[in-house]
Chains A and B, each alone.
Chain A
Amino acid sequence: MAILETVKVSFTYPDQLLPALNQVSFSVEPGEFIVICGPSGSGKSTLLRMVKQEIAPYGERSGEIFYNGKKLTEYEPVKIAKEIGMVFQDPENQIVMDRVFEELIFGLENIGMPTETMRTKLAEMVHFFGINHLLDKKIHLLSGGQKQIVNLASVLLMEPRILLLDEPTAQLDPVAAKDFLHMVKQMNDEFGITVLIVEHRLEEVFPLADRVFVFDHGSLKISGPPKDVIAKVWQEQYRPLFPYLPSTALLYLEHADNLQIADIPLTVKEGRKWASQLKTHQSDTSFKKQENYNEKQNPILQVKNIYFQYEKTGKKILQSLSLTINEGEWLTIVGANGTGKSTLLKVMAGLESPQRGKLIYNGKKYSKPISTDIAYLPQNPKLLFIQDTVRGELIETAQQFHLENYEEKINCLVELLGIQSILDRHPYDVSGGEMQKSALACVLLPQPKILLLDEPTKGLDPEMKVALGKWLKSMQSRGLTIVMVTHDIEFAARFSDRSAMMFQGEITVTTSTKDFFKGNAFYTTVVNRMTRDGNIPEVVTVEEAEEKWGSQKIKN
């Protein structure tokens, strides 16, 4: 019997014409691992919230949801709250308590469990998750990944039968995301917990999934085993969903001659197996297209021998760091958590002043923010907004910088970004991508020469990422210099010109993005790991493969 079944579930938010969910019917067997994907606003989160009754959105609803053959509403609220658990996107905001221990037992206290039972359960769970050393810590001192693990553990302590996860790794770095997803998979494998996960990191979750649900505009478009879904999306030329396919599969689909569903690679291992059979007519094409990167090298911003620490006795964040940024380039800085990437951006923006070292912009030293020339977009764009509407915010920013005929400039920028429709809405009420764009509009209004971006792709869906990348690329061609700090290797590989690696407060390597990723053994894209050391030209992205392999059709 299905553990969860929905029958023609529809939902419309108040004052909305179109339904957020439209006649969604599916059933989930116990122990299944279901991945739900689709563009933002396609109703994925709404669906999870409909299943999780306590936080069901308010609006017009129809259809029925069954849990173990009985309507959800017929169960006792406590039982259902206990048996259907949910982990949300933001690691920080889900936390209620100050310390890990209190957070873990919060749910158990809510369901009225006696102290002794709590102790036993906690002992088990702490052992299983290996978080004994965190128990007495204050939660805000943990990393994002650890916080999310705590959130997962505190939900699992209530022994749910179904686990709902709403983009749980969107705010995490790739390593932490991988750890988290493996933990979820382990719970699924070893305890048979049914998992419904909304996720954008498809490279990671597709290999784990039993079935994939593809949502678009509120309806369930395609469902089935991952490989079938990929084949279907491809065969039906369902373009809007292409960015959602894992790049291993995309590479295969674009270059394989006779498509076999069973052959679609989901993991790098499978991908390498396929790639090893490939043959090219030319052994090496890399000389054909010389990188035209070295043409102009005009340093616009120089960081010289910077030392920085937040507290006198604290850890040194930046140590004798030097970096040169050339005019018109897109530089990516990557590196593990806590290596000081974000701090470096803040220093470059003039927001934090280094203890030692020099910052030179256009030949002149500076130590204060020069927002008209160097724009900084923080990781959390919410911090930028002061006014009630996006329009108000833009006008306020223009006045702040005493811009002349600013209305024209605003209109021009708004059109470029395509955010006309959200101008009169509150900046917090728009989607993640739109908020990012509104923030970009604000910082780009004074027409700066340099744009500093801190994790611009965090929380964006694949489609928005591509759109953002393309847009930034077009701004770059208009003369904007971009410096970006990111964990998103795939994004960096696809769009940036030069990459630098940060380690222990220093820049270790700086080189062109393609060489950078080809030189890395571990810290590189999935496609590169797939095509490395084969008898085909090594590539970093699907686009590069198209460029290098495309002209000559590869025979299997």
Chain B
Amino acid sequence: MDNGFRSLHPFVIFLYYVLAIAMIMLYQHPFFLTFACLLLVIFNFALDQGKMLKKWVSMMIVLSLLFLILTPLTNHRGNHVLFYLFNSAITLEALIQGLLNALTLIAILTLTITFNYCMTADKFLFLFSKWMPKWSLLAMLSVRFVPLLNRRIVEIITVQKGKGLSVTSGPLKQRVKHGLLLVQVLLTWSLEDGIQTADSMSARAYGLQKRTKYTPYKLHMNDGFMILILTGLTGTGIFGWWLGDGVLTLTPFLEPTILYGREWVFFTIYVLIIGFPLIVEGKEAIQWQYWKR
């Protein structure tokens, strides 16, 4: 069974991802974004000790460096010229813009990495099956077919290797030809077996009347409460953005990066939204500690 953030109703989880992405996109401010990245990295570690994050980390660094370098090279707007490169101005504003882009990218990537972990395929399908029952069933069937076909092709390759049909050696043209033949075997075989699957479906009354869908998740009081908090916080957050807080003005005049006054309030709200799963996880950990005593 899932626990912590993942045990919440799929709708709450989905809502969090939508709202968090919205907040990251709206609050284009290095201070806000840095904290968002920090929180999300901690979230990753809280989920699986950062295992999945480690797989992506090199790609994230390369991409963000690319943004950091390319933005000042292509964007020349701004008053603070740092230096000239090949006769074009490199401005501080463009550099900050690059930094913002890079941070946004990191934040969104770290967030999506956790998405697969928290929002598993069946939860996702469950959310959308209400509106598209046929499509969700089709998706469920395909979920099984991808690994199935993969296992089958491996088996075919092994067996056909004995007959001399290799896809790993020989001239390219021959390899392609062999590959196509193997795919053909896979298709004939799968279609043939698919008939049996279809029989088994109709033997279990498929297609005779309207299907119901098993709903494995119930919307508890707690989930409703979470939805209220999340939407409330985000509503306030969007209001703050509309007021112009939490967005670093680059042109016409560069705003100082340090937060002032009201911005601290919106920063707190921002942290509460992005760090929402951490709060849930933390709350559960504390409850567990108390229970043990």
By the criterion CB–CB under 8 Å, are B164 and A371 in contact? yes
Q: A97 an interface residue at 8 Å Cβ cutoff?
A: yes
By the criterion CB–CB under 8 Å, are A93 and B185 in contact? no
Among B144, B164, B188, B207, which residue has its beta carbon within 8 angstroms of that of A428? Answer: B188
Q: Residue on B with the closest CB to A400?
A: B164
User: Quick one: given A112-B209, A349-B162, A371-B162, are A383 and B155 in contact (CB under 8 Å)?
Assistant: yes
By the criterion CB–CB under 8 Å, are A400 and B144 in contact? no
By the criterion CB–CB under 8 Å, are A351 and B202 in contact? no
How extensive is the interface on chain A, given as a class? Answer: 35 or more
By the criterion CB–CB under 8 Å, are B158 and A346 in contact? yes
User: Quick one: given A98-B143, A98-B144, A115-B212, are A54 and B161 in contact (CB under 8 Å)?
Assistant: no
Among A99, A106, A369, A384, which residue has its beta carbon within 8 angstroms of that of B204? Answer: A106
At the interface with chain A, which of B9-17, B89-97, B189-197, B260-268?
B189-197
By the criterion CB–CB under 8 Å, are B204 and A52 in contact? no
Q: A356 an interface residue at 8 Å Cβ cutoff?
A: no
Q: B208 an interface residue at 8 Å Cβ cutoff?
A: yes
By the criterion CB–CB under 8 Å, are A97 and B144 in contact? yes
By the criterion CB–CB under 8 Å, are B209 and A54 in contact? no
User: Quick one: given A78-B208, A106-B204, A158-B205, are A94 and B197 in contact (CB under 8 Å)?
Assistant: yes
By the criterion CB–CB under 8 Å, are A81 and B203 in contact? yes
User: Quick one: given A351-B162, A369-B161, A383-B189, are A112 and B196 in contact (CB under 8 Å)?
Assistant: no
Among A108, A110, A371, A428, which residue has its beta carbon within 8 angstroms of that of B192? Answer: A428
By the criterion CB–CB under 8 Å, are A140 and B159 in contact? no
Q: Residue on B with the closest CB to A86?
A: B203
User: Quick one: given A54-B203, A81-B203, A385-B185, are A350 and B209 in contact (CB under 8 Å)?
Assistant: no
Q: A22 an interface residue at 8 Å Cβ cutoff?
A: no
Q: Residue on B with the closest CB to A371?
A: B162
Chain B residues contacting A346 (CB-CB under 8 Å) are 158
Bitwise, A84-103 to B at CB < 8 A (1) or not (0) is 01101010111111110010
A77 and B202 CA atoms in complex are apart in Å by 11
By the criterion CB–CB under 8 Å, are A110 and B204 in contact? yes
By the criterion CB–CB under 8 Å, are A383 and B192 in contact? no
A81 and B208 CA atoms in complex are apart in Å by 9
How extensive is the interface on chain B, given as a class? Answer: 35 or more
Q: B206 an interface residue at 8 Å Cβ cutoff?
A: yes
Bitwise, B182-223 to A at CB < 8 A (1) or not (0) is 001100110011101101111111111111111100000000
Q: A113 an interface residue at 8 Å Cβ cutoff?
A: yes
Bitwise, B145-172 to A at CB < 8 A (1) or not (0) is 0011001000110111111110000000
Q: B181 an interface residue at 8 Å Cβ cutoff?
A: yes
Q: A155 an interface residue at 8 Å Cβ cutoff?
A: yes
Shortest distance from the beta carbon of A380 to any chain B beta carbon, whole Å: 8
Q: Residue on A with the closest CB to B161?
A: A351
Chain B binding surface, main DSSP class: helix
Chain B residues contacting A118 (CB-CB under 8 Å) are 214
User: Quick one: given A81-B208, A400-B164, are A382 and B196 in contact (CB under 8 Å)?
Assistant: no
By the criterion CB–CB under 8 Å, are A371 and B163 in contact? yes
CB interface residues, A 32-49, toward B, < 8 Å: none
A397 and B165 CA atoms in complex are apart in Å by 10
By the criterion CB–CB under 8 Å, are B192 and A107 in contact? no
Among B163, B192, B205, B214, which residue has its beta carbon within 8 angstroms of that of A81? Answer: B205
By the criterion CB–CB under 8 Å, are A102 and B140 in contact? yes
Q: B18 an interface residue at 8 Å Cβ cutoff?
A: no
Bitwise, A118-160 to B at CB < 8 A (1) or not (0) is 1000000000000000000001100000000001001100100
Q: A386 an interface residue at 8 Å Cβ cutoff?
A: yes
Most buried by A among B189, B194, B205: B205
User: Quick one: given A81-B204, A383-B160, are A96 and B141 in contact (CB under 8 Å)?
Assistant: yes
Chain B residues contacting A95 (CB-CB under 8 Å) are 144, 197, 200
Q: A82 an interface residue at 8 Å Cβ cutoff?
A: yes
Chain A residues contacting B143 (CB-CB under 8 Å) are 98
Chain A residues contacting B201 (CB-CB under 8 Å) are 96, 106
A93 and B145 CA atoms in complex are apart in Å by 11
A124 and B254 CA atoms in complex are apart in Å by 68
Shortest distance from the beta carbon of B1 to any chain A beta carbon, whole Å: 9
Q: Residue on B with the closest CB to A157?
A: B204
Shortest distance from the beta carbon of B195 to any chain A beta carbon, whole Å: 8
Chain B residues contacting A382 (CB-CB under 8 Å) are 189, 192
Chain B residues contacting A400 (CB-CB under 8 Å) are 163-165
Chain B residues contacting A385 (CB-CB under 8 Å) are 185
A401 and B200 CA atoms in complex are apart in Å by 41
Q: Residue on A with the closest CB to B207?
A: A110
Among B147, B162, B192, B212, which residue has its beta carbon within 8 angstroms of that of A112? Answer: B212
Chain A residues contacting B211 (CB-CB under 8 Å) are 109-110, 112
Chain A residues contacting B155 (CB-CB under 8 Å) are 378, 380, 383
Q: A376 an interface residue at 8 Å Cβ cutoff?
A: yes
Most buried by A among B163, B194, B209, B210: B163
Chain A residues contacting B141 (CB-CB under 8 Å) are 96-97
Q: Residue on B with the closest CB to A164?
A: B203
By the criterion CB–CB under 8 Å, are B144 and A154 in contact? no
Q: A250 an interface residue at 8 Å Cβ cutoff?
A: no
Q: A111 an interface residue at 8 Å Cβ cutoff?
A: yes
Q: Can you list 9 contacts pairing A with B, beta carbon distance less than 8 Å?
A: A55-B203, A96-B200, A97-B141, A111-B205, A352-B158, A378-B155, A383-B155, A383-B160, A401-B164
> What are the 4 tightest A-B residue pairs by CB atom distance, in nearest-first order?
A107-B204, A81-B205, A93-B196, A94-B200
- Seed contacts A386-B160, A386-B181; 11 additional CB < 8 Å A-B pairs: A81-B202, A81-B205, A85-B204, A88-B200, A93-B200, A96-B144, A102-B122, A110-B206, A112-B210, A382-B192, A428-B188
